[in-house]
Each structure stands twice: as structure tokens, then as C-alpha cells.
Amino acid sequence: MSSKPRDKRTSIEDVVASLEDGMTIGIGGWGPRRKPMALIRAIRNSDLKDLTIVSWGGADVGLLARAGKIRKLVYAFVSLDSVPLEPNFQKARQEKSIPEIVEIDEGMFQTGLLAASQRMPFLPMRAGLGSDVLVNNPDIKTVASPYPDADGEFEKFTAVPALRLDVALIHMNRADQHGNASYLGPDPYFDDLFAMAADRVFVTTEQIVDTAGLTVDTPVQRVLINRIMVDGVVETPNGAHFTTCTPDYERDEKFQKAYAAAAKDDESWAAFEARFLNGDEAAYQSAVQEFHAQEENK
């Protein structure tokens, strides 16, 4: 048997074709930062439905919510930073078009991924106690420590349920053909936890490089995702647009402003979809280039 690592290169289309209705999909990144937007756009254009989405959300959640893809949403926030509340998510919440909502504390979200990564049904933590998180999510239970504290009391904790994922979608700066992947920006976010919490993992990347190239001029600890975690890797230049992918590019504020403005009414949104979203990824990237060319000529 050969010990040579498997070539896991695949395509956006093949990744989306492998997904199924009703899946629980975790989306890496953080708000408007390093989101796997090329895959999100493809899912939006697919026939997939009734998805459970788990995300520290940004435009990923907004696009899928506007397209009616989400049956259940588990999130800590959904923001575009310079647009504090993601407008398509806001519309979905106001219209109650997402059937099931689970809003939890950011730390509880991390603990849920940790529990799933360790194949535990839950992990205890103090966050959530005395807050409306437990009022709004009565399914989240509390648990008493089996060990007494110094005063002989058995302290109560929030029992954060595991956030088990069928699939995790992650965008990284660089990857090799085997699925090893590195981030070059200031923060790994929690992409490794998404990967370890999932049954299958797909990584999109700005560039596929030779394995040795992952650590050229880059500390080895920035190789966040190892090939054992990954089922497929897709080279998608500019694939996190319009979110950040530091240092390759920052957030496209002009485009984000146009996105937010279009989300305000159905007619504007339909025009935005027709211009940017209804084609494949190549058509999207071409339309974005045309948008900026027009902006520069104003």
C-alpha cells in the first residue's frame, strides 16, 4: 500500500454536488473575515434546502437566508462590521423566514465546537448562567459539578451541547493538494475547531502551492489545517470576496456598501442578483471587476 498523500483537489461544483438537503453545515471565518464565499455563492445557486447553518455569521448567513436555504441557524452574531447588522439576515429575522433560531454567547459557541471536536455530548462552562441565553434557548440545560468546592457546594454550570457538523466549509490563504492549509493573516479564528467538529471538511484557498511552500517565510504554526482533517481542497482566487483575506486582500467596502444598499428592497436585490449572483464563480468575479471599473470612472 502506498503511503503517498492523496491528491484532494476538487471543484466548487463537485463540493456542492456532494452536499445534501437537511445537512448541518459549519462555515468558518468570522463575520466579514475569511469566509468561503465562493462555496456560499454556489450553494445559493444550487437546489439545496432545509440546511442547518452554524456560523459566526456575516454575508454567508445573509446570502443563504435571503435565498431561503436555511431551516435552522445557530449563531453568536451576524455582522459585516462597518454594517453592524447584516441586512439580509436582519430582513430574515424581521420576517421570521428562518424557521428555527439558536442564538448563543460567543464563548458558548466555541465550547459547542470544542465538545463536538472531542466527541463529547456537551461541555460545562459558566457563560450563559443568569442570562437570557438560557431563557431564549430552554433546550440548553444546566449541570451540577460532581465535586464540591471549598465551601462544600456543588457549583452549577451551563451544559453547552456539542455543535456536531456534517460538513465544515473553510477558506484559507494557502493549501497544498493534499489538504494541508495555512492562514497568513492575524487570526486563525476557529477554523480548526470547525474542521474537528465535522464529519467532512472542504477547504477553499487563494492558491494551491507545493507542500514545502506552506512554510516558506511563514512560521510553521500557521499551518492550521492538516490533511487528515480534509476531504477536498479547491483553489478559488479571490474566493473570500467581499470579506477579508488578509494579507491577500482586505474587505471590499465599496462592494459591501452596494450589497447592503441592494438588500433594502426586493427590486434592488433582484437587480443585484441578476448582475452578480445568478452565474457561476467566474461570472461573479468578472462582474466585480466591471463594478470597480465603473466606480473608478465615476
Domain boundaries, the chain: 12-105+163-254, 122-161
- Mind listing the pLDDT tens digit for each residue in 221-266? 789 999 999 999 999 999 999 999 999 999 999 999 999 999 999 9
C-alpha cell of residue 189:
479564528
Is it true that domain 12-105+163-254 has CATH number 3.40.1080.10?
yes
pLDDT band of 3, cuts 50, 70, 90:
low
Kindly report the number of other CB atoms within 10 A of residue 184's CB atom. 15
DSSP of 163-225: --EEEEEEEEEEE-TTS-EE--SS--TTHHHHHHHEEEEEEEEEEE--GGGGGTTS-GGGEEE
Say whether 246 sits in a helix, a strand or coil: coil
Record the cell numbers describing residue 186, joined without a space: 492575524
Span 107-133, pLDDT tens digits: 999 999 999 999 999 999 999 898 888
Dihedral sign of CA atoms 74, 77, 82, 87 in order:
positive
* Mean pLDDT, range 214-219, rounded to an integer: 76
Q: Which residues of 186-204 are buried (b: 16+ CB within 10 A; e: fewer)?
A: eebbbbbbbbbbbebbbbb
Higher pLDDT: 182 or 3? It is 182
Alpha-carbon Rg for the chain in angstroms: 20
Is it the case that residue 220 has pLDDT exceeding 60? yes
- pLDDT tens by residue, 182-208: 999 999 999 999 999 999 999 999 999
Is the pLDDT confidence value at 2 over 60? no
Of 80, 126, 133, which Cα lies nearest the Cα of 102? Answer: 133
State pLDDT tens for residues 146-163. Answer: 999 999 999 999 999 999
